[in-house]
A and B are shown apart, each in its own frame.
Chain A
Amino acid sequence: MKMLKEVESMGEKKPKNKFKLNKMPFSKSVMAALIIIIGVVLLALMILASISMGESRTSFSTIITSLFHYNSENMVHQYIREIRLPRALAAVFVGIFLAISGSIMQGMTRNPLADPSIMGVMGGAELAIACVFAFFPGTSYLFLLFASFVGAGMSAIIVFSIGSWTKGGLTPVKLALAGTAIGTMLGALSTTIAIRFNVARDLSFWYAGGVVGTKWSSIPFLMIVAIIGIFMAIAISKRINVLSMGEDIALGLGINVFWTKLLGALVVVILTGASVSIAGMIGFIGLIIPHITRFIVGSNYRLIIPCSGILGGLLLITADMLSRMINPPYETPVGAITSLIGVPFFLYLARREGRGMI
């Protein structure tokens, strides 16, 4: 890591390499900056809009006062603090987490099919939730959150160890295969439990539930995950750049491939585990947002990781608002909406000869 930094800082000083830097598509980094600046402003606006939306429309001034001059006896303030604000924040966080972990997965495995679910994370969380529903009905929200986070982590550890035990080491294809196999197995186990104990419908509602019912008590958890996960993701983005050129090149450049992968996997597990435990299965963002981002800002993961995060957050909070608008008072599953928004765009990109897709 240190060596890399030195190499890079050397490069910046030498005029020869400066020439190379100028030759890089300048517009892509401008695009990245634009995405980040406009994206953050849009995110703030969307959070406000999301809070104001509902059966009783709330004015922006009420929202601002409830945020900064919170009055615990005011019903509207309570409602905003306890129900609407956590929901909006959770949507943004989960969108960011999923998009970033998807970018890391695709960069590490160099497979356009890779998304966070490939680590088997979803299967582990689902199994944990199925067990809680079947054997400890009526447990608290925080325990459910904790259980699914642990389940997600366990399954990822299994997948990663299997991937690294194999002869010939941890190749991307093997990681993906191990993840798919373990994920399918854990998913099958949880469906089996769900059918036997008659909780299949509850389980489906849980993993299609999105950020509905997120409580204020889970926001600190999301904050911690965000700080650790995003920081680590940005810290390893340079290594992922090298890794995405191929393992031989990475080895040749003196990168410790195993540690990079382990760190990458750790970030993915933390971020995806948190998203799954808050919002259930919203698989599409982790797959498609990285492709879209790569299309806009190019293949530099130092740009891809922050930009994909912002786009992911925007997509999920928009989808969450749509899920309340389509068929009120019922809510349409938010994962379904993210897919239906993303698919046409994705197909359009795919038809452009897969340009910009790895």
Chain B
Amino acid sequence: MKKRLILIFITLFLLLIAVFFINLSLGTISISPKAVIATLAGFGTKQEDIVLFSFRLPRIVIALLIGIGLAISGTILQGITNNDLADPGILGINTGAGLSVVMFIFFSENTVVNSFSTFLMPLAAFVGALVAMFLIYFLAWKNGITPKRLILVGIGINSAFSAILIIFQLKMTNQSFSQVITWLSGDLWGTNWGFVVAILPWIILLGSFVWIKGRSLNIMRLGDEIAVGMGLKLERERRILLFTAAALAGACVAFGGGLAFIGLIAPHLARRIVGPLHQIMLPAAALIGALILLVGDTISRNFFGPSEIPVGLIVSIIGAPYFVYLLIKTA
């Protein structure tokens, strides 16, 4: 069993590295994998240096981090709510971020603020995600939180936000409308080193924190009564993990838009491949999430030119069949 796990992790890791290099070498200016390695080691031409270090590398790092973050966030939410359908999307976190961004685009149309949108849009998304989470938690609180109430309130908030969102969306000009559609479908933007620096510590710190809390997540999966019986401070653990999930999802949504599907399928895939123990499953889910997003990014940048198809759509189109295949194969 242990051997199998090690093998799985090595395979996932190698796959990730392979896709990493393929992604780096493909593009409008293609660079051979050999040249990629040379450039990374510091022996590239000036053009290769610019293409790799200023454009492709930051984008890939952001994609990796977002994949990891969404996968972990989805794992937490499925663990806390004990519901296999939970993900940042269904709980209204994504919609909160989406609404915030749509309102930002709507009100900043033709104003000075619009020129700072590269920096303000991620901020708007992040704030929207956290506001949604606070609202859900506040409304679901009544001498504590139960998973069922949390999900129900989440659905309610989600539908209310989507309702307001569509009203704004239909009032927009054509250009803002396509901007919004792209955003909501999930698209990597703001790919520069500044954003990498902003998101990297966030994902690493929160991710390792969740990994340490893996035991609590295992116990929560057993149901409330058993969890309390085993001496878990259920309410506190749940609150901490919930806001960690929201913070992770918020950061990812801020730079990647509506990519919720990864948060739904990565934990499922991981659970079906390595089993339900969170200490093992979390890293696997993180690797799978990163892998899915990287593959999606490679395809969306290279196979649909000249108009780029948002990566979120590609992720759904290629992720769903594999997900369904696993669904059919495993009991």
Residues of B within 8 A of A112 (CB): 148, 151-152
Task: Give every chain B residue within 8 A of A191 (Cβ-Cβ).
Answer: 181, 185, 310, 313
Cβ A196 vs Cβ B152 within 8 A: no
Interface-centre pick from A112, A333, A339 (highest chain B CB count, 10 A):
A339
User: Are A339 and B328 closer than 8 Å at their CB atoms?
Assistant: no
A350 to chain B, nearest CB (A): 4
Question: Is the beta-carbon distance between A350 and B140 smaller than 8 angstroms?
Answer: yes
Query: Looking at the complex, which of B32-40, B58-66, B114-122, B314-322 is the stretch in contact with chain A?
Result: B314-322
A313 to B308, CA, bound (A): 42
> A204–B254 Cα gap in the complex (Å)?
24
Which residue from chain B places its CB closest to the CB of A190 in the assembled complex?
B313
A346 touches B181 (CB 8 A): no
Chain B residue contacts of A342, Cβ below 8 A: 159
Most buried by A among B148, B160, B330: B160
**Chain B positions within 8 Å of A288 at CB level:** 159
Structural contact, B327 and A178, CB atoms closer than 8 A? yes
The segment from B166-174, B193-201, B274-282 that touches chain A is B166-174
Which residue of the partner chain A has the closest CB to B147?
A354
Q: Which residues of A contact B157 (CB under 8 A)?
A: 343, 347
The answer to whether B142 touches A113 (Cβ under 8 A) is no
A195: CB under 8 A from chain B? Answer: yes
Residue of A nearest to B182 (CB): A195
Report Cα–Cα, A208/B268, bound state, in Å.
Answer: 32
Judge whether B317 and A189 touch: CB under 8 Å: yes
| Structural contact, A347 and B156, CB atoms closer than 8 A | yes
Which one of A77-85, A165-173, A216-224, A253-261 is at the interface?
Answer: A165-173
A177 touches B159 (CB 8 A): no
Stretch at the interface among A11-19, A44-52, A180-188: A180-188
Question: How many residues of chain A are within 8 Å of chain B by beta carbon?
Answer: 52
Residue A214, interface by CB 8 Å: no
By beta carbon, the residue of chain B nearest A340 is B163
Tell me whether chain B's interface is mostly helix, strand or loop, or mixed. helix
Docked pose: A284 CA to B323 CA in angstroms: 26
Instruction: Spot the interface stretch: B82-90, B103-111, B208-216.
Output: B82-90
| Contact in complex: B328, A351 (CB < 8 Å) | no
Interface string of A303-334 (1 = CB under 8 A from B): 00000000000000000000000000000110
Is the beta-carbon distance between B178 and A113 smaller than 8 angstroms? no
- Checking A165, A283, A333, A349 against B167 with a beta-carbon cut-off of 8 angstroms, the contacting residue is A333
Residues of B within 8 A of A162 (CB): 324, 327-328
Residues of B within 8 Å of A192, CB to CB, are 309, 313, 317
Contact of A173 among B84, B261, B304 (CB under 8 A): B84
Instruction: Given the known inter-chain contacts A167-B329, A283-B159, A335-B163, please indicate yes or no for A354 contacting B146, CB distance below 8 A.
Output: yes
Contact A166 B328 (CB under 8 A): yes
Contact in complex: B160, A187 (CB < 8 Å): no
CB <8 Å contact, B153 and A350: yes
| Bound-state Cα–Cα, A252 to B313, Å | 44
* B170 x A187 contact (CB < 8 A): no
B164 at the interface (CB under 8 A from A): yes
Supposing A185-B316, A189-B317, A354-B152 touch, asked if A195 and B309 sit within 8 A by C-beta, the answer is yes
Inter-chain contact B307/A353, CB cutoff 8 Å: no
Bits for B165-192, please: 1 = Cβ < 8 Å to A, else 0: 0110110001001100110010000000
- With A177-B84, A339-B160, A340-B160 as given contacts, are A167 and B323 in contact (CB-CB < 8 Å)? no
The answer to whether B148 and A354 touch across the interface, beta carbons within 8 angstroms, is yes
A173, A178, A347 pick with most chain B CB within 10 angstroms: A347
Q: What residue of chain B has the Cβ atom nearest to residue A161's Cβ?
A: B328
Q: Are B159 and A339 in contact (CB under 8 A)?
A: yes
With CB as the reference atom, state the residue of chain A lying closest to B90.
A113
Interface string of B66-80 (1 = CB under 8 A from A): 000000000000000
CB B136 to nearest CB in A, in angstroms, measures: 10
Query: Does A337 sit within 8 A of B, measured CB to CB?
Result: yes
**Residues of the A chain whose Cβ atoms lie less than 8 Å from the Cβ of B160:** 339-340, 343
A20 within 8 Å of B by Cβ?
no
| A270 CB–B CB distance under 8 Å | no
A188, A191, A346, A354: residue with the most chain B Cβ atoms closer than 10 Å: A188
Option from A113, A174, A185 in Cβ contact (under 8 Å) with B321: A185
Question: Ordered nearest first, which 7 A-B pairs have the shortest CB separation?
Answer: A185-B320, A188-B316, A339-B163, A350-B152, A336-B163, A188-B313, A343-B160
Given contacts A204-B166, A333-B167, A350-B139, 6 further A-B contacts (CB under 8 A): A113-B151, A177-B85, A181-B324, A333-B170, A337-B163, A340-B163
